[in-house]
Chain A
Amino acid sequence: MDRNSDEFGTKVARVGQKVLLHDIILNAIMVILSIIFLAPVALVYIISFSSAESIREIGYSFVPKSWSLDGYIYLLGSSEQLLSSLGVSVFVTVVGTVLTVVVTGMIAYVIYRKDFKYRKQLTFYLFFTMLFSGGMVPSYIVNTNLLHLGDNILILFLPTLCSAWNAIILRTFYTQTIPDSLIEAAKIDGADEWVIFFRIVIPIARPALATIALFSMVGLWNDWFTGLLYINTPSKEPLQVLLQKLQSTLDYLTTNASFASSADGIRMALNMPTDSVRMALTVLIMTPILFAYPFFQKYFVRGITIGSVKG
């Protein structure tokens, strides 16, 4: 009896140790992974606060020799371009997000309504764009040559306003959360479509609409390609394009050694933003999203997972 319980005790202890060991190894791996994800981003933050001498002497380092705010001060000094780019980015992100939610919310409602005769056709009309697209060059030619949207701020958000993906995600959400009987009851009570849509559907779908809004917000803020392709006037460039161009101008200096060492090159290099300026701008652009998204993470996760349900 005694022996038995003793054996049992050691067995429990052994299993406990094994579980504990598992736990420690698993957490250690997770911590290492987290460092791999965080460290490169942290490095950019550190460089943006490093002094020019430190960068010159020891390069980009996690432990700079001395700290400085010069990068940020220079950015504030070149405020005209920065302000107009910030204005463009904020405008495009805010207006684009609001319109995306409105337009997608409406069309998703129509393909959700089972009593709408052309529901299937309309769904296919949207779904087909997920399978086939004109591609980069036909889009470019159509947008600039037929629609005359080249070098126009509108091009930065109009094309993505009504994505089939978002509409189908929302449709799925409506179907899962709003029973048909609710709509019918409202109709019997004499409510017209506006009342049903704005008073019943929108309040119920608020979490899903928030998800769409967040996705579109991040997408619009992070979009650099559209601006690069279509915008030529500096005052209409969003922040991401400004940062992208900053890189290519600097590139020109660094890859053309003979130019960099010529008198013109040196004069330009002196006026050029230094490494810490580029990193300071990078920090300014990525910080809003990096610090906001953990608070909205549950919406993003829900969005990804609704999207993965076949509707």
Chain B
Amino acid sequence: MHFLQGFKKEFKKNWQLFLLATPGVILVFLFAYLPMFGIVIAFKSYNYEQGLLGSPWCGFKNFQFLFASNTAWEITKLTLGYNFLFILLGLVLPVILALAFNEVRRPLASKIYQTISIMPNFLSWVIMSYIGLALLDTNGFFNSVLQMFGKDPVYFYADPKYWPAILILTSQWKSIGYSSVVYLACICGISVEYYEAAILDGASKWQQIWYITLPSLKPMMVITTIMALGHIFNSDFGLFYQMPMNQGQLYPATETIDVYVYNALQSMGNINMSAAASVFQSAVGFVTILLANAAIRKIDNENALF
């Protein structure tokens, strides 16, 4: 009752603000909160005639089926493996590139290098897959080069053993420039005085980087890592589905949870299992992000996300 009265009073005072917020609130409710309630689908035996609300409950049966199969562990292992690697590379490579950008003396040259390195970030995964095709297809660039040296062609799209390397290179090629710009902005924000003082004390270039630059990049590195840990059960669908063009024989190297969920959703008989996998992914992701943040808060309160 008290809450209602307070609400009424606030509404009378700020009804225009309420109105300004309404479209956003409704959209977020429809497209972010309704799907959260839609999670019940994983506990139902879904069929199209009865829909989301009408389909009968089935408890944890969908999850039992999912985890009884070998697939669940395979796809989880693959997703986690790639993500740990991506987090590690994402902490090291963009920082190195940002440091390098910062060392380029001529502002125009630095600007041009930056522009070029961010460029891949603006390519969609469909475009990326065609670039991949141009390089890796049987008549693609790499095979033309092999042919020139009289070697046999390599069938990249038929053999999973090449794909861990291809996927890692592709993901770094696409994202490194963009991430390095974030770090570069942090570096540009560091006061020149620190470096001047360090030079007076006779600090070498490497000492300056180690004792001044890197510590001031730490907060950014921590935030990036927490966010990445929160998505550790997610994978970039475009990278794992579209780059290898969803070739079945490549699944041992490419079938992450997202790819499995999408393919299972497409073959409608599997919708219950795909719902279970999808919900498993969201729930575990949520727990991971809370844990990561709690851990960071314990070690270094200032850098926690919330």
When distances are taken between beta carbons in the complex, the residues of chain A under 8 Å from B32 are 129, 133-134, 164
Question: Of B33, B120, B219, B230, which is within 8 A of A131 by CB?
Answer: B230
A contact patch SS = helix
Query: Which residues of the partner chain B approach A34 to less than 8 Å between Cβ atoms?
Result: 112-113, 116-117
- CB contact list, A130-161 vs B, under 8 A: 131-143, 145-147, 158-159, 161
5 A-B contacts, Cβ less than 8 Å apart?
A40-B134, A59-B147, A141-B46, A247-B245, A308-B182
How many angstroms from the CA of A159 to the CA of B223 in the assembled complex? 26
Residues of B within 8 A of A107 (CB): 20-21, 23-25
Q: Are B262 and A136 in contact (CB under 8 A)?
A: yes
**Interface status of A197 (Cβ within 8 A of chain B):** yes
Contact of A61 among B23, B141, B178 (CB under 8 A): B141
Choose one: B185, B246, B281; the contact of A304 (CB below 8 Å): B185
Residue interface bits B230-251, CB-to-A below 8 A is 1, else 0: 1000000110001001110000
**Chain A residues within an 8 Å CB radius of B274:** 137
Q: Mask for B5-39, Cβ within 8 A of A = 1, else 0?
A: 01000100010111011011101101111111111
The residues of B that contact A162 with a CB separation of less than 8 Å are: 23-24, 27-28
In the bound complex, how far is the Cα of B42 from the Cα of A135, in angstroms? 11
Give A142 to B41 CA distance when docked, in angstroms: 10
Contact flags A29-43 to B (C-beta < 8 A → 1, else 0): 110011011101101
**Residues of B with C-beta under 8 A to A23:** 105
B124 within 8 A of A: yes
Asked if B52 is at the interface (CB within 8 A of a chain A CB), the reply is yes
Give the residue name and chain of the A residue nearest to B280 (CB): A135
> Which residues 248-264 in A have Cβ within 8 Å of B in the complex?
248, 251, 255
Query: What is the minimal beta-carbon distance from A130 to any residue of chain B, in angstroms?
Result: 9
Binds B, one of A3-11, A72-80, A279-287: A279-287
Q: B residues within 8 A CB of A275?
A: 139
Inter-subunit contact B100/A131 (CB<8 Å) = no
Q: How close is A304's CB to chain B, nearest CB, in angstroms?
A: 5
Q: Is the CB of A103 within 8 A of B23?
A: yes
Chain B residues lying within 8 Å of A193, measured Cβ to Cβ, are: 14, 16-17, 20
CA distance A164 to B185 in the complex (A): 23
Q: Which residue of B lies closest to A30 (CB)?
A: B113
Chain A residue at minimal CB-CB distance from B186: A308
Q: Does B168 contact A (CB under 8 A)?
A: no
Question: With A110-B17, A301-B185 given, is the CB distance from A138 to B126 under 8 Å?
Answer: no
Residue in B31, B185, B306 with the greatest tally of chain A CB atoms within 10 Å: B31
Which of the residues A133, A243, A286, A290 comes within 8 Å of B36, measured between beta carbons? A133
Tally of A interface residues using CB under 8 Å: 97
How far apart are the CA atoms of A248 and B281 in the complex, in Å? 28
Residues of A within 8 A of B282 (CB): 132-135, 138
Contact of A142 among B38, B115, B261 (CB under 8 A): B38
Task: Return chain A residues, CB-CB under 8 Å to B177.
Answer: 37
CB of A240 within 8 A of CB of B39, answer no
> Which chain B residues lie closer than 8 Å to A1 at the CB level?
none
- For residue A205, CB closer than 8 A to chain B, the reply is no
User: Considering the chains assembled together, what is the distance between the CA atoms of A27 and B106 in angstroms?
Assistant: 10
State whether B173 touches A60 (Cβ < 8 A).
no
Q: In the complex the two chains form, what is the Cα distance from A102 to B19 in whole Å?
A: 13
A126 with B118: CB separation less than 8 A: no
Any B CB within 8 A of the CB of A203: no
Of all chain B residues, which has the CB nearest A304?
B182
Complex: how many Å from CA A308 to CA B221? 10
Interface code B112-148, partner A: CB below 8 Å = 1, 0 otherwise?
1111111110111111011101110101110110010
Given A41-B131, A132-B286, A161-B27: A137 in contact with B265 (beta carbons within 8 A): yes
**Which residue of B is nearest A43, CB measured?**
B134
Contact B36 A134 (CB under 8 A): yes
Does A222 interact with chain B (Cβ within 8 Å)? Answer: yes
CA of A125 to CA of B247 in the docked complex: distance in angstroms?
40
Interface residue B107 (Cβ < 8 Å from any Cβ of A): no
* Nearest A-chain residue to B26, judged by Cβ: A162
B109 beta carbon closer than 8 Å to chain A: yes
Contact B52 A136 (CB under 8 A): no
A22 to B205, CA, bound (A): 12
Chain B residue with the shortest CB-CB distance to A102 = B23
Contact of B139 among A55, A62, A286, A293 (CB under 8 A): A55
Chain B residues with Cβ under 8 A from A60's Cβ?
Answer: 134-135, 137, 139-141, 144
Distance between Cα atoms of A310 and B51 in the complex (Å): 42
